[in-house]
Amino acid sequence: GNADMEEYQLANTVQMQVSHKLLGWARRPKHGRQYSANYISEFRKDIEELCDTGCFRNERKLNPQTMLEFIKAKYPDRYTLPGEIEIKQEIGSLFLKRKMEKTRKNKTRKPIPKPYLDKLRKYLEKAGRDYAELKPKDVFAKLISQFSSAEGLQSDFPDEKTVKARFSGLKTIHKTAWSVT
């Protein structure tokens, strides 16, 4: 059969040399390292300024193509300029960074002074396994009645939102403690 065919006899005479490559030779580069040089770092400040003009006034928003034109006009002798896609990615990362800063500012939680926090914990301890019946609104009212005086509340008394949020967190911790035992 096949052994008599000329192609098979020719293939049997060929000797292949297999080169031994090091482990990992075919791995792809990490994200962002696929292609050659990345020029965006040199122009970050310019892109940020162009983004800022669009942030304050909507009619001045620029797309990546227009930003690239501004950069070309500012640096006429440069050949190594970022591409539109790199500019678009930089704009996205700028907006994400600003969004994270804004949420970080909003999420700064005021600490509850120790005497109030201890009272919240005591309410949970007294409730025992009936902790689920305690509502944050009711606990806040109890706290006000306990710490109010003829002059009113003390200056360090936490606001309602802070007390409710903290009490809900303590309830969750209390719940896991009771579920373990």
Cα distances (angstroms) measured from residue 84 to each of 40, 63, 79? 10, 9, 14
Helix H or strand E segment including 88? helix 84-106
116: three-class secondary structure by DSSP = helix
End-to-end CA distance of the chain: 78
| pTM beyond 0.75 | no
Percent of the chain whose pLDDT exceeds 70: 83
pLDDT at site 31: 66
pLDDT at site 98: 85
Cα distances (angstroms) measured from residue 11 to each of 4, 6, 18, 76, 114? 12, 9, 16, 60, 85
- pLDDT tens digits along 27-40: 776 766 666 556 78
Strand stretches in 48-149, DSSP E: none
Helix H or strand E segment including 136? helix 136-147
Q: Residue 109: which pLDDT band, with cuts at 50, 70 and 90?
A: low
